[in-house]
Amino acid sequence: MAINLNLSMKKEDLAYFNLVLFHVVLGFLVYLFPFVAKIYGYAIFIVGFFYVIKKQNRNNEAIIAAAYIVGSEVFLRMTHGNPLYEISKYGVMVFIFLGMYYSGFSKSATPYWLFLLLLVPAVVLTTFVLNYDTNMRNSIAFNISGPVCLGICSIFTYRRKIPLEQMNSILLSMGLPIVTCMVYLIFYTPNIRDLITSTQSTTETSGGFGPNQVATILGLGMFIFFSRTILESRTKFMLGLNLLIAINMTYRGIVTFSRGGMITGFLMILLLLLFLYYKSNYTGRVKMNYVMVFMGVTMVATWAYTSFQTGGLIDKRYANEDARGREKESKFTGREDVARGEIDLFLKNPVFGVGVGKGVELRQEETGNGTLSHDEITRMLAEHGSLGIVGLLILFFTPLALYIENKFNMFLLCFVAFWFFTINHAAMRTAAPAFVYSLSLLNVYFEKRE
């Protein structure tokens, strides 16, 4: 019996290693041959489509396929592998619709039907107020695709029962393409010390792409693999592999010098550890004490190494100082000015707002600065008015009500925290906050292994 168990564990280790190795090699191949990114981008959608149809969503394959798209989105944008820039959000919705076709959706998801309806008035208003030379379809789609993706995903996941093991599979599906992104970044910028000369976020350490989005997805990947280190490492090999990936993602995320995504990832890990500690018995809490100390030492060591590699500039970045140690005037690189302007627009148009996408036009006309909003909350206020407030309240309180009802979903608070803090610094530019939020609505239960 013991021999059979050891053999099965070795097979499980080998399968997991091969899965990770494939995504490591893929990252290297994209670095060597950029056209591979295009093949990868198309393959995700084609293979995922046939995968869901073949399985008919018997084990939530639609969510697993959607999770993979979410994890690959930033990498494909970075390497120009996406067929269309915004296709990931639409791809997620297509897979969720497939899931609905095979498995239906919750008839009690009224809050999210209401949320989608609350978006309509501002869209209708937009058709009357946008400037004549503005591409109306692109402007509306760019700003509304994130909230619509969130609403559709939430209708499907609302109170859907799912075993914990499947939830971990969904997170792994989202994490594997982030491994590919991490490996690509390692080859893109192998020597950090020669590149970092200031405390500004830089595209040179984020694959030539926006550091904000890269740090956001790496922060999410850091959480996924730290959670697997704690929950899914049934052998020493798996423990070492998951920890190695988590540490590398932490390092690569920190050196982007974009703070929001990494702070959010750290907060998610802290919430998970606190949940596990609170739910454990005495023996479990003793073990959790060791885990917390180990995680703390690992984080400190990673930070110390990053500080050494950046010549101490990363310490100044998080202390809001410039390279000479002087405190910066703005903690949010001017984003607070955009947020204030959007609050002013809300106060002037409190009922229906100014219309989807109109905020950028008004900002350009009044200040000459057509910067896109990084804060989804103030954008919802400005462009959707009081209806936006109602929509945000629905999104915030519904998962918390579910948590009171079912406190076993150890990831629920982590996912809500990711959504809330991400939309405060990166809006809903990617599918990640919308999709991860919807995972908080799943009714997770524990299924004993055979």
Is pLDDT of 118 > 60? yes
Determine the average pLDDT of the residues in 5-20.
76
Instruction: Work out the pLDDT band at 334, boundaries 50, 70, 90.
Output: low
Q: Which residues of 276-303 are buried (b: 16+ CB within 10 A; e: fewer)?
A: beeeeeeeeeeebeeebeebeebbeebb
Q: Report the chain's mean pLDDT, rounded to a whole number.
A: 88
Contact 244, 302 (CB under 8 A): no
Enumerate residues 6+ apart whose C-beta is below 8 A from 416: 396, 399, 400, 437, 440
Closest listed residue to residue 408, CA positions, set 372, 371, 447, 375: 447
Q: For the whole model, what pTM was predicted?
A: 0.92
Could you tell me how far CA 336 lies from the centroid of its own chain? 22
Q: What is the per-residue pLDDT for 25?
A: 97
For the cut 80, the answer to whether the pLDDT of residue 199 exceeds it is no
Say what percent of the chain tops pLDDT 70: 93
pLDDT at 1 over 60: no
Contact 242, 201 (CB under 8 A): no
Nearest CA to 68 out of 86, 89, 90, 44 is that of 44
Name residues whose C-beta falls within 8 Å of residue 70's C-beta, 6 or more positions apart in sequence. 88, 92, 174, 430, 431, 432, 435, 436
Per-residue pLDDT at 137 exceeds 70: yes
Per-residue pLDDT for 9 more than 70? Answer: no
Range 261-290 average pLDDT: 90
Q: Indicate the pLDDT class of residue 370, thresholds 50, 70 and 90.
A: low
- Can you say whether the dihedral through the CA atoms of 97, 101, 103, 104 is positive or negative? positive
- The pLDDT, as a whole number, for residue 329 is 61
The phi and psi torsions of 237 (rounded to 5 degrees) equal -60, -50
Q: Can you tell me the mean pLDDT for 365-374?
A: 74
Q: Which contiguous run of DSSP H or E holds residue 204?
A: none
User: Between residues 76 and 4, which one has the greater pLDDT?
Assistant: 76
Q: Are 254 and 314 in contact (CB under 8 A)?
A: yes
Q: What pLDDT, on the 0 to 100 scale, is given for residue 2? A: 46
DSSP output for 295-348: HHHHHHHHHHHHHHHTTTHHHHHHTTB-TTSPBPS-SSTTHHHHHHHHHHHHHH
Whether 330 has a pLDDT exceeding 70, the answer reads: no
pLDDT of residue 427: 82
DSSP 306-317: HHHHTTTHHHHH
Please say if the pLDDT value at position 357 is more than 70.
Answer: yes
pLDDT at 332: 53
pLDDT of 97-112, one tens digit each? 999 999 998 888 999 9
Q: What is the pLDDT of residue 197?
A: 67
CA atoms within 13 A on the CB side of 449: 5
The pLDDT confidence band at residue 242, using thresholds 50, 70 and 90, is very high
- The mean pLDDT value for 63-71 works out to 97
**C-alpha to C-alpha distance for 231 and 24, rounded to whole angstroms:** 22
Q: Per residue in 205-229, pLDDT tens?
A: 888 888 999 999 999 999 999 999 9
| 153 touches 112 (CB < 8 A) | no
